[in-house]
A and B are shown apart, each in its own frame.
Chain A
Amino acid sequence: MSQSAPQLSWRLLRVWRRDWLVTRKSWLIGFMTPLLEPILYITSLGFGFRILIPEIQYEGHTLTYVVFMAPAIIATNIMYTAFMENSFSSFVRMYYQKTYDAIRATPLSVDEIIAGEIMWGATKSLMAATIMVTVLSLFGLVHYPTGLGLLPLAFLGGLLFGAIGMLFTAFVKSIDMFNLPIFLLITPMYLFSGTFFPLENLPDWAQSVAWALPLTHLVSLARNLCLGTISWMNILVSGGYLLAATALLVPLALRLMRRRLIK
């Protein structure tokens, strides 16, 4: 029950299943957002920015702004979807609905509950990314077959940002406190991770900071998969970063949630 080693088994899928069945009830809302978001971005930035920014230099390629921007829409959505799911939504289940307390009367450990929740957050990221990739493909903005790599990337990124969300869930006293990590971490990442403009435009020190942040690596991989410019070096560095961070933060989230819940 309170052992320091995680108690994990396939039973975590039962928690995942619960979240899936509940979400399925309101599938339309879940479906609409990733469907409309890329269309809004593309029409807004495509038409609005076309005159301001005719083309953009990215790692030696000359791109239109929409082509540059489109993969970042997917990457930031992967971040937001999993982070929100395992911060606000998980907190509601834990604190208000007492869902975790109820499950803890069944043969499931706290680790399995939290791991199932993080896996569900990653699944939501994957589902949203699948819809977005489909929409962007219709606009001819995804290069294949490399574009298919966006799907496993969405799951991996979802695990990582879900774990980050869960880390805050392990600490916050009230639901309003999630505004703090959003303001101090998520929004700055959204703005400065090579999303709206190439990192090369930043001063050297700011570039170094950006490369320390997970979203930068997610955006970099997503963009190169979308453009078909993915390199082994890119996979090794950014993929390695995301894997290592996930391998570090998921167990940490489990451990901190155990500390919060087992009393």
Chain B
Amino acid sequence: MPIITADLHPMSDNVIEVREVQKRYGTFTAVDGISFDVKRGELFGLLGPNGAGKTSTIRMIYGFSPLSGGSLRVFGHDITTGWRDVRARLGVCHQEDSLDEEMSVRDNLEIFAGFFGIPRNVARERANRLLEFFGLENKEKASVRELSGGMMRRLAIARALINEPDLLILDEPTTGLDPQTRHQLWEKLARLKKQGVTIILTTHYMEEAAQLCDRLIIVDHGKILVEGRPRDLVAQFVGKQIIESSPVCEGLRRFVTERALEHEDLGHRMLIYCKDDEDIYHEITKTYCQDNCILRMGTLEDVFLKLTGRELRE
């Protein structure tokens, strides 16, 4: 049974406290001394390219992987010694589906409840509610093999909620889902957040992170590059608006160099970070490329690519 008052720092508002945490696999350092906090009730994003150390970090948070260095507290418990108490109060939805294919949808929920020691009648009642919440009532008797990708993911998240966790960990929950399912899932996450569940999420969809996350970090090569609220990060690193030109004429290249404008030249395409200075856009469109230039909103994806670079990973 979860012990609500076990927190060693009752005054602390932090559900997760990560301090100088490292993870090494042999000689490879996956996580290289990162520190961050996740506050109660927050939806916190963990972004980064493939191999940045996201999953390694997530796995240390729920005591799946031991730390190579640093300290990590969840609900005030040191994860190395208090992992059982921590896990009793959190739910994890893995990147890879780990549902029991041999069992029905309902059994997946009820048998998983058994691992938490939840009594059968309580498990049954919670399964009813979760099946309804995720729109799986009509599939309760279906085997997992018969489910679509979207249904399987919904079931995986439902299963992660069977112990009514205070903290929900979602590792790429929307990868491979169609836009309809994705949006529906966002709405479910927003409702869970409203119910007071703290959520930590990794994703490759920047639009998703920008919409959902109260705060996020972008990691690369095992280190945190930035931390902040999505809107603040956009304003700070790329500005609210961006001028995008494709193709790029030589005149424009000279212009941005002369005016020392912050820009990124991708050869066939150029991004100019105009930092809310709309006059520059009018000047450019008047003089250089009338048709090839657009003024658009800066996005988290711009921030992400600017900070982590554009070369392919893995």
Chain A residues at the B interface, C-beta cutoff of 8 Å: 1-2, 11, 14-15, 17-18, 21-22, 25, 97-99, 101-108, 262-263
Contact = CB atoms under 8 A, between A and B. Distances in A.
Contacts of A18: 111, 114-115
B103 A25 contact: yes
A245 B100 CA distance: 33
Contact of B160 (A21, A98, A101, A105): A105
Given A101-B96, A106-B115, 12 more contacts: A1-B80, A18-B114, A21-B111, A22-B102, A101-B98, A102-B94, A102-B98, A102-B159, A105-B64, A106-B116, A107-B88, A263-B25
B65 A262 contact: yes
B264 interface: no
B111 A105 contact: no
Nearest to B159: A102
Given A1-B66, A107-B88, A102 B102 contact: no
Contact of B66 (A2, A11, A99, A106): A2
B114 A99 contact: no
Contacts of A11: 117
Contacts of B91: 105
B100 A97 contact: yes
Contacts of B63: 1
A3 B116 CA distance: 22
B288 interface: no
17 contacts: A11-B117, A21-B111, A98-B96, A99-B100, A101-B96, A102-B94, A102-B99, A102-B159, A105-B62, A105-B160, A106-B87, A106-B112, A106-B116, A107-B88, A108-B115, A263-B25, A263-B65
A146 B204 CA distance: 65
Interface residues of B, number: 34
Interface in B40-95: 62-66, 80, 83-85, 87-88, 90-92, 94
Contacts of B83: 1, 107
A144 B92 CA distance: 52
Contacts of B112: 102, 106
Contact of A107 (B64, B103, B115): B115
B117 to A, nearest CB: 7
A18 B102 CA distance: 11
A263 B64 CA distance: 8
A262 B116 CA distance: 21
A35 B154 CA distance: 41
B101 interface: yes
B187 interface: no
Contacts of A105: 62, 64, 87, 90-92, 94, 160
Interface of B: 25, 62-66, 80, 83-85, 87-88, 90-92, 94, 96-103, 107, 111-112, 114-117, 159-160, 163
A14 B94 contact: no
* Most chain A beta carbons < 10 A, residue from B84, B90, B91, B163: B84
A176 to B, nearest CB: 21
Contacts of B98: 97-99, 101-102
B242 to A, nearest CB: 40
Given A1-B66, A21-B107, A263-B65, A14 B117 contact: yes
Contacts of B160: 105
A257 B114 CA distance: 23
Contacts of B80: 1
B97 to A, nearest CB: 7
A97 B160 CA distance: 16
A3 B100 CA distance: 29
Contacts of B163: 106
A79 to B, nearest CB: 25
Given A107-B88, A262-B66, A22 B94 contact: no
A71 B112 CA distance: 39
Contact of A22 (B85, B88, B96, B103): B103
Contacts of B64: 101, 104-105
B154 to A, nearest CB: 16
B59 to A, nearest CB: 9
A77 B66 CA distance: 40
A22 B100 contact: yes
A98 B102 contact: no
Contacts of A98: 94, 96-98
Contacts of B90: 105
A31 B224 CA distance: 56
A262 B59 CA distance: 11
A14 B114 contact: yes
A25 B108 CA distance: 13
A103 B111 CA distance: 11
Contacts of B102: 22, 25
Nearest to B67: A1
Contacts of A17: 111, 114
Nearest to B115: A106
A77 to B, nearest CB: 23
A22 B112 CA distance: 12
A78 B102 CA distance: 24
A97 B94 CA distance: 12
